């Protein structure tokens, strides 16, 4: 039997390729992503706007599941039993990060990269403590948030590790750790940071104390504790703390074993109102006649109301619940929605129609005459499906297929012009985007002004072009709109880049002009004719120059900081910014050197003047003495 030639799927244009990805599930996408790097990046780009959740279950085997959010598309695999698929996958993943210590960590890195940093859930059942803590620490080192962490273990170290290290960065935490055979305690531990969870569940909560509830778990939205100990939890104090304090709880569920006490005694002396069971609402109707009592309380600081309910589940088991009214309504709504969506849905998937639609769009994107192609496709495809469906006596489905395909052909014929318009829009957008990408920035201020004015015109033209994008083919408009949005954002960014660069160049040019004026005065000064030098005036000029430079240095630093900020923000014209920064520093250093020379010249001129004055005085003294000596000779 001869095999057909493989179809070059990844060579399809983006639109038809994404249509293929739309028609396959998460499982097929995952298998495709591990085939090659090109396939991985194609799936990664397709999933850039989709959110996913991934679950790692560590039992005797390692189970891995991946699910798209807001969808029922999910797959789950026990990796150790799927060696034909996952055997080669480890080889592929090892090239992704060779420093990852285990295959599971490499799988996490791979899924995080391809599936847009998915929501992570972890379940550990009787695993070694080093394994549990090592994997959780690895995830925390990546700055990832764990949505759900469930641990079933008889090891006290697991509980201590979770209580010490898992207070933040988690949404739900479930501890199912039987420890009746030990006297486990969690005392004298730091109370900060407090647990900030959406839901905290502890199945064996005999070690939990009132201090834990009111200090450590007070910021959790839901706290569900089973098998609590009345020796450690003072229910009266707990309710009093809630009334006169502040708490994030919207539901607290406490279960005690072998306890018989009165809710009325607990609520005596506290501001509360006894309410009938009917007022509690649907969320607690299942309690029925087993309800012992219900009270309504109010938090003094926030005014939030809650119910305190006590009921018996069995003869020797008592449960306490504190829950908000609105929270119970939301819980009822969630249960109702889960019930509605749990029913079976019968679906008929006409893959023939999907395949024909896909092939037609491939040829339309390639600017071919699709009318002839559709005619040939219908002549060869419809009889095939007629024969196959006729064997199943599905005449009604055959009629539906013919009607759907005929309607699709008429719609495609009517949309030939919009498809051409879509291609023209795409070409125009890509040309403008390429021009903006390869745009070069000028150095001079005048050239920057001209470029900025031209860019404003181009940006205005790009904004007006949105009308053409909106008129594109409806099925294609998502891609065209995405490309246009990229162009529009890029154009706005280039306009802002030109504006900020022009402001910086203007400020830098002002600084350079100021330095040049001072340089010109000092360079053109003539120090050769001592008779023409006014030393007092020069001394004042030197002092004034130093004062001006000291005052102006802050302004120069502001311009330098402005350039550094542009570089740190990733401005595209790094060359011009660095050139002006270097030029300002060089010219400023040169001006400082001129000031130093000025100082030397002034001091030398003063010394020379003093020397000349002393020489003149000495010459006069010699002349006087010579005159006197000549008198003695006569």
User: How far apart, in whole angstroms, are the C-alpha atoms of residue 552 and residue 233?
Assistant: 70
Q: 271: pLDDT confidence band, cut at 50, 70 and 90?
A: confident
pTM above 0.85, yes or no: no
Most confident of 195-204, 524-533, 559-568: 195-204
**Nearest of 600, 470, 623 to residue 522 by alpha carbon:** 600
Can you tell me the mean pLDDT for 376-392?
39
Alpha carbon separation from 455 to 48, 410, 441, 498 (Å, rounded): 31, 43, 11, 8
pLDDT score, position 329:
40
Alpha carbon separation from 452 to 303, 433, 449, 496 (Å, rounded): 57, 17, 5, 9
pLDDT score, position 478:
46
* pLDDT greater than 90 at residue 150: yes
Written as one string, the DSSP assignment of 570-603 is T-S-HHHHHHHHHHHHHHHHHHHHHHHHHHHHHH
DSSP 214: I
Q: 31: pLDDT confidence band, cut at 50, 70 and 90?
A: confident
| Integer Rg of the chain from CA | 41
pLDDT score, position 259:
62
pLDDT score, position 325:
41
Written as one string, the DSSP assignment of 441-497 is --SSHHHHHHHHHHHHHHHHHHHHTHHHHHTS-TTTHHHHHHHHHHHHHHHHHHHHH
* pLDDT greater than 50 at residue 395: no
pLDDT score, position 141:
84
* pLDDT greater than 60 at residue 86: no
pLDDT score, position 200:
92
* pLDDT greater than 50 at residue 461: yes
* pLDDT greater than 60 at residue 281: no
By CB atoms closer than 10 A (0-12, 13-18, 19+), residue 475 is: middle
Q: Determine contact, residues 273/306, Cβ cutoff 8 Å.
A: no
Can you tell me the mean pLDDT for 512-527?
80
Strand 291-298 with 305-314, pairing: antiparallel
Share of the chain above pLDDT 70, in %: 66
Q: Determine contact, residues 320/235, Cβ cutoff 8 Å.
A: yes
Most confident of 191-205, 243-257, 408-422: 191-205
* pLDDT greater than 70 at residue 199: yes
**56-92: b or e for each residue (b if 16 or more CB lie within 10 Å)?**
bbbeeebbbbbbbeeeeeeeebebeeeeeebeebeeb
Q: What residues contact residue 411 under an 8 Å CB cut-off, 6+ apart? A: none
> What values do phi and psi take at 246, rounded to 5?
-135, 135
pLDDT score, position 151:
92
Of 17-26, 84-93, 297-306, 445-454, the range with the lowest mean pLDDT is: 84-93
Can you tell me the mean pLDDT for 435-440?
70
pLDDT digits (tens, 9 = 90+) for 162-184: 888 888 888 899 998 886 545 77
Question: Cβ atoms within 10 A of the Cβ of 606, count?
Answer: 15
pLDDT score, position 411:
60
Residues 322, 161, 195: CA angle, nearest 5 degrees: 35
pLDDT digits (tens, 9 = 90+) for 211-241: 888 888 888 888 888 888 888 888 888 888 8
Beta bridge partners of 305: 298
Can you tell me the mean pLDDT for 607-617?
82
Q: 253: pLDDT confidence band, cut at 50, 70 and 90?
A: confident
Alpha carbon separation from 315 to 224, 255, 256, 318 (Å, rounded): 21, 13, 12, 8
pLDDT score, position 290:
47
Q: Determine contact, residues 307/322, Cβ cutoff 8 Å.
A: yes
pLDDT score, position 333:
40
Q: 403: pLDDT confidence band, cut at 50, 70 and 90?
A: low
pLDDT score, position 73:
67
pLDDT digits (tens, 9 = 90+) for 550-585: 888 888 888 888 888 888 888 888 888 888 888 888
Return the percent helix, strand and coil in the chain, to nearest 5.
Answer: 60, 15, 25
pLDDT digits (tens, 9 = 90+) for 316-363: 444 555 554 444 444 434 433 333 332 222 222 233 333 333 333 333
Can you tell me the mean pLDDT for 23-46?
81
DSSP 222: E
* pLDDT greater than 60 at residue 93: no
Can you tell me the mean pLDDT for 452-457?
74
User: How far apart, in whole angstroms, are the C-alpha atoms of residue 319 and residue 233?
Assistant: 13
Residues 448, 449, 453: CA angle, nearest 5 degrees: 115
CB-facing half-sphere around the CA of 585: CA atoms within 13 A: 9
Alpha carbon separation from 373 to 360, 362, 376, 412, 450 (Å, rounded): 8, 11, 5, 12, 51
Mean pLDDT of the chain: 71
């Amino acid at each position: 039997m001869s095999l057909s030639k493989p179809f070059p799927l990844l060579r399809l244009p983006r639109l038809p390729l994404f249509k293929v990805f739309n028609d396959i599930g998460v499982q097929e996408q995952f298998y495709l992503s591990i085939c090659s790097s090109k396939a991985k990046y194609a799936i990664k780009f397709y999933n850039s706007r989709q959110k996913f959740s991934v679950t790692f279950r560590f039992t005797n085997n390692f189970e891995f599941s991946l699910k798209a959010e807001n969808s029922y598309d999910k797959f789950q695999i026990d990796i150790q039993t799927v060696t034909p698929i996952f055997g080669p996958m480890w080889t592929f993943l090892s090239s992704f990060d060779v420093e990852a210590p285990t295959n599971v960590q490499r799988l996490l890195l791979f899924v995080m990269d391809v599936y847009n940093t998915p929501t992570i859930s972890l379940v550990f059942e009787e695993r070694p403590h080093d394994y549990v803590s090592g994997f959780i620490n690895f995830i925390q080192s990546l700055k990832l948030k764990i949505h759900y962490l469930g641990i079933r273990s008889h090891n006290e170290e697991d509980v201590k590790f979770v209580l010490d290290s898992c207070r933040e960065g988690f949404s739900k935490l479930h501890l199912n750790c039987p420890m009746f055979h030990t006297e486990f305690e969690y005392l004298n531990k730091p109370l900060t940071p407090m647990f900030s969870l959406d839901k905290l569940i502890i199945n064996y909560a005999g070690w939990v104390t009132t201090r834990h509830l009111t200090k450590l778990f007070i910021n959790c939205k839901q706290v569900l504790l089973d098998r609590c100990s009345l020796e450690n939890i003072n229910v009266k104090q707990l309710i009093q703390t809630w009334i006169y304090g502040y708490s994030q709880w919207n539901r607290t569920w406490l279960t005690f074993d072998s306890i018989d006490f009165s809710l009325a005694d607990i609520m005596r002396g506290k501001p509360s109102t006894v309410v009938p069971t009917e007022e509690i609402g649907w969320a607690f109707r299942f309690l029925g006649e087993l309800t012992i009592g219900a009270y309504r309380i109010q938090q003094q600081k926030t005014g939030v109301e809650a119910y305190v309910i006590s009921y018996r589940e069995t003869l020797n088991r008592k449960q306490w619940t504190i829950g908000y009214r609105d929270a119970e309504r939301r819980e009822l709504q969630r249960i109702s929605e889960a019930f509605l969506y749990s029913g079976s849905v019968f679906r008929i998937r006409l893959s023939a129609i999907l395949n024909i639609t896909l092939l037609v769009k491939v040829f339309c994107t390639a600017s071919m005459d699709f009318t002839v192609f559709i005619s040939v496709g219908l002549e060869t495809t419809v009889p095939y499906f007629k024969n196959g469906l006729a064997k199943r006596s599905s005449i009604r489905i055959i009629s539906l297929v013919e009607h759907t395909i005929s309607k699709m052909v008429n719609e495609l014929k009517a949309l030939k012009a919009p498809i051409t318009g879509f291609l023209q829009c795409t070409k125009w957008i890509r040309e403008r985007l390429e021009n903006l990408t390869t745009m070069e920035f000028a150095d001079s201020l005048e050239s920057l002004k001209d470029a900025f004015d031209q860019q404003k015109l181009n940006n205005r033209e790009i904004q007006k072009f949105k009308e053409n994008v909106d008129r594109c083919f409806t099925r294609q408009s998502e891609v065209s709109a995405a490309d246009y949005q990229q162009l529009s954002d890029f154009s706005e960014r280039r306009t802002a880049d030109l504006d900020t660069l022009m402001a910086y160049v203007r400020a830098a040019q002002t600084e350079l002009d100021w330095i040049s004026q001072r340089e010109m005065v000092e360079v053109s000064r003539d120090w050769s004719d001592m008779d023409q030098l006014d030393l007092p005036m020069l001394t004042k000029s030197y002092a004034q120059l130093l004062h001006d430079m000291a005052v102006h240095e802050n302004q120069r630093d502001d311009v330098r900081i402005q350039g550094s900020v542009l570089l740190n923000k990733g401005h595209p014209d790094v060359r011009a910014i660095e050139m002006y920064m270097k030029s300002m520093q060089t010219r400023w250093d040169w001006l400082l050197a001129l000031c130093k020379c000025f100082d030397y010249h002034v001091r030398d001129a003063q010394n020379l003047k003093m020397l000349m004055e002393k020489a003149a005085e000495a010459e006069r003294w010699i002349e006087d003495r010579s005159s006197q000596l000549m008198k003695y000779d006569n």
